[in-house]
Amino acid sequence: MGHRIFTTSVASVYPLYVTKVERKGRSAAEVDEVIEWLTGFGEGELKKHLADETTFEDFFAAARLNPNVSLITGSVCGVKVQEVEDPLMQQIRYLDKLVDELAKGRPMEKILRA
């Protein structure tokens, strides 16, 4: 039995990511940029997934994860992302971590592990 977030649509969580970063002076375009970096989806692909209300499970199944994804470390909600055992949950936590870093004002080149 999978976690409830696996069957949740990315489109239902996306506005929460945007609201979180906008409160801290960042933009929706920057959220898109970190999602594109993580998943390999271009702007059109991302918009299509949001419009189709793709679940997190299907979203990450279609993604081409960035080869530098293993450089994403640290905690989200008290859980170290590098220690999450379920691969899908780890990918969702990677996304959460990138959005957190954006909201905390971290420079984009550091967020994107440049």
Express each pLDDT in 64-79 by its tens digit: 999 999 999 999 889 8
Six token digits for residue 81:
């992302």
DSSP string, 70-108: GG--SEETTEEGGG--SHHHHHHHHHHHHHHHHHTT--H
The pLDDT assigned to 2 comes to 75
Taking every pair of C-alpha atoms in the chain, what is the biggest distance, in angstroms?
38
Domain locations in the chain? Answer: 4-105
pLDDT at 49 over 90: yes
* Range 13-41 average pLDDT: 97
In a 3-state reduction of DSSP, which class is residue 9?
A: strand
Mean pLDDT value across the chain: 95
Lowest mean pLDDT among 16-20, 21-25, 70-74, 75-79: 75-79
4 vs 98: CA distance, rounded Å: 21
* Range 79-92 average pLDDT: 95
Q: Which CATH number does the domain 4-105 belong to among 3.30.499.10, 1.10.8.290, 1.10.3720.10, 1.10.443.10?
A: 1.10.8.290
CA dihedral in degrees (96, 27, 67, 94; nearest 10)?
0
The pLDDT assigned to 1 comes to 59
